[in-house]
Structure 1
Amino acid sequence: MKKLLFSLLFLTSTLYALAQPKTPERWTQAKADAWYQKQPWLFGPNYNPASAINQLEMFQADSFDPAAIDKELGWAEALGINTARVYLHDLLWEDPEGFKKRLDQFLGICAKHKIRPMLVLFDSCWDPFPKPGTQRAPQPGIHNSGWLQSPGAEALTDVSQYPRLEAYVKGVVGAFKNDPRILLWDVWNEPDNTNDNSYGRNHLKQEPERKKDIVTRLLPEVFRWARSVNPTQPLTSGVWIFSKDRNMSNPKNWSAMEKIQFEHSDILTFHHYSDVESFERVIKELKTQNRPMICTEFMARGANSKFQTHLPVAKKYNVGMINWGFVAGKSQTYLPWDSWQNPYVNGREPSVWFHEILKADGSPIDPAETAAIKSATGKK
């Protein structure tokens, strides 16, 4: 019976996709290059305020905190940060006018501090059961214990909700399609992530069965929805799985999801949490596509992904860099990924902080890191 239900789901989603107009083509290489040449060397964090555990708490009316955002982005400006990657959520569109107003206010604060964010529409990572309203408190000692997938498992497997998702994408991109305060749109974060080391394992595999297949069918539609409103900003979705035995310069080595991401993205983006030798190898492999590139997630100290080693290489190849985390707070991403299996409680502490640049009071976790950041950004 379960196989029959999923077969019907795939058939319905395929028919839905076939009924839609043809996806508009991505930017030409010349247009992408011309856009990138106008940008400064891009550097910043994946940002949510320390007071927010997830995307909903950042932007919902009752918890939106412009004062905290203004303070923290002031710290960012002092480091020479000129961009930030910020996650939105489809459930915020339940209050479209209020959400657009708050997002506009957020963009105003960013502009005040000379920061042009890239906005993320959907995300396959962490909790598959998002709910609007008051968000739960952080789980003690656990990395990113309250982050939410968008869309959640229920919406992802219910084709009748796809028009709602389409309205969200067209609505938010359409409202800000000509806004110079926005750098670009990241349409889906790690779309083929099944969270095997976090919620997937701890909650008896509550991810949808064949999630990758569902998202593989839906991702081209999301690109089409976003492109249909003719945004002036580029679109992207970043690849994130690399290994020495899989040369990404050869399209034959791409997964079905990666093929969609590469062939629909105006600007190539990728994630990389490993040593600098691996980082440079991946850059060289992706450079063969002759597209501007931004690394939209890096910097995990325990994985040898560091500012001092990686920023000089990125500047050498003119690759923008977005690290995970800015100010230590409710997301607790200063704790390592292994905290899902062994929470840092009862006095147990990580040997080094995993992510984040600043402590809650705005002081640096490591002054040598902030010195390396200022050196790379040219901030005196």
Structure 2
Amino acid sequence: MTLFFAAASVVAMAAPAEAREIWTKQEANAWYDQQPWLVGANYNPATAINQLDMWQAETFDPATIDKELGWAADLGMNTMRVYLHNLLWENDPEGLKQRMDQFLTIAAKHGIRPMFVLFDSCWDPHPVAGAQHPPIPGVHNSGWVQAPGAERLADKSQHHKLEAYVKDVVGRFANDDRVLAWDVWNEPNNDGGGNYAPTPNKKQMVAGLLDDVFEWARSADPTQPLTSGLWTGEDWHRMEKRDAVEKIQLAESDVMSFHDYNWPEQFERRAQQMLSYGRPVLCTEYMARGNGSTFDGSLPIAKRLNIAMYNWGFVDGESQTRLPWDSWKKPYTYDEPTIWFHDVLHTDGTPYRQAEVDLIKRLTAAPKGVVPPTPTQPAVIATD
């Protein structure tokens, strides 16, 4: 309790009086023009079941992080999307920021600039800090937790803690060149998934809070862009077709972002719709082999369109995301799936599929906007 009020007081004194403006299209594109082609993964070390496990002092694992980010750099990856959690800050604000700084030092050694995710609407709606349960055998992402979680989301009297968390964390790293961007809320209008009971009125509550989260983050005056990505539905280029949450995402994001776990035809359609807003576009989740989303299907399209790409999963580990979504209904406790759903490397660093690793290396090594030729595909150079 003392830690919370002390940190909240620091935030109140340090935060600017007003939030900075949303970047103009020109400002957003000028920032993006200074970036290499951004390629990475949604990153959680193999030794952690969820974001609490990754960051809490008792389970923070810098040796594994260093090893795995080294493997990522060897593939040509230069960014990672990494999840935080408000409970981490509430229980140990200074410790969280110190470990974030340590993580950034490790990442920078490997030439990787992470995008941090502040909140998340997916999986378990009842997060509890402390020791996390072991993975449920045969089940995809069996320990991932939502942030802020159902109870905190519904209790407006506790939202000042969320505000303090956002302002303090973003404020601490607002001018840190090691940080690429801030994803303020992952899939905010997601019901949750898995076998969990949906949170009543969740979308309405999120819509009432998401605008505030953008404003809190901007009030720290970050030099990095803010975003929150669309992930479901069609006609993304038509604002009138979107729900209340998505309208906030589109209106408040400095750079556009989206998720796509489908065949390359739909990936390109969604990518073009997002590009229609005239801002840089980041695909912050893709690659689910069993669902038709693959490296060879989506990554060359993104390279041609100059869209940043973050596949889901990197090293197979306690999150068990090599298993498909349907494992929540029929756990793979005896037989492995025919193909891995997500993830790129085994725990010893060897590739699940060598051809995928070769493709990533070939594409990341080529100049920005250039798709290297394959035996069946000529080189394509972007002209716009």
TM-score (norm 2): 0.89
CA drift of 1:72 comes to 0.5
1:151-205 Cα shifts (integer Å, max 9, x gaps): 011101111110001010001000000000000000000000002x4133xxxx2
Which residue does the alignment assign to 1:327? 315
Counterpart CA distance in 2 for 1:358 and 1:218 is 37
Counterpart CA distance in 1 for 2:365 and 2:19 is 40
1:283-311 Cα shifts (integer Å, max 9, x gaps): 11121110100100000000111111211
Which residue does the alignment assign to 2:114? 117
> What is the CA RMSD across the aligned residues, in angstroms?
1.3
Aligned residues: 350
SS in 2 for 1:359: coil
Q: 1:191 aligns with which of 188, 191, 204?
A: 188
Counterpart CA distance in 2 for 1:141 and 1:336 is 10
Q: 1:77 aligns with which of 73, 77, 80?
A: 73
Counterpart CA distance in 2 for 1:67 and 1:22 is 40
CA drift of 1:256 comes to 1.4
Alignment of 1:1-380 (within 5 A): 24-93=20-89, 94-195=91-192, 197-200=193-196, 205=197, 207-242=198-233, 246-345=234-333, 347-378=334-365
CA drift of 1:253 comes to 1.3
1:7-36 Cα shifts (integer Å, max 9, x gaps): xxxxxxxxxxxxxx9865311001000000
**What amino acid maps onto 1:198 in structure 2?**
G
Contact 2:22 2:254 in 1 (8 A): yes
CA drift of 1:249 comes to 1.8
CA drift of 1:208 comes to 2.4
1:119-172 Cα shifts (integer Å, max 9, x gaps): 000000011111111110000000000001000111011111100010100010
Counterpart CA distance in 2 for 1:363 and 1:176 is 34
Counterpart CA distance in 2 for 1:22 and 1:167 is 15
SS in 2 for 1:119: strand
CA drift of 1:250 comes to 1.8
Counterpart CA distance in 1 for 2:39 and 2:320 is 22
1:78-104 Cα shifts (integer Å, max 9, x gaps): 000000000000001121111111110
**What amino acid maps onto 2:116 in structure 1?**
L
SS in 2 for 1:296: strand
**What amino acid maps onto 1:27 in structure 2?**
W
Contact 1:157 1:208 in 2 (8 A): no
Counterpart CA distance in 2 for 1:142 and 1:305 is 20
Counterpart CA distance in 2 for 1:139 and 1:377 is 36
Q: Percent identity?
A: 57
**What amino acid maps onto 2:33 in structure 1?**
Q
**What amino acid maps onto 1:265 in structure 2?**
S
Runs of 4+ in structure 1 deviating by more than 4 angstroms, as ranges, are 21-24
1:16-57 Cα shifts (integer Å, max 9, x gaps): xxxxx9865311001000000000000000001000000111
Structure 1: 5+ residue stretches without partners: 1-20
Counterpart CA distance in 1 for 2:257 and 2:270 is 12
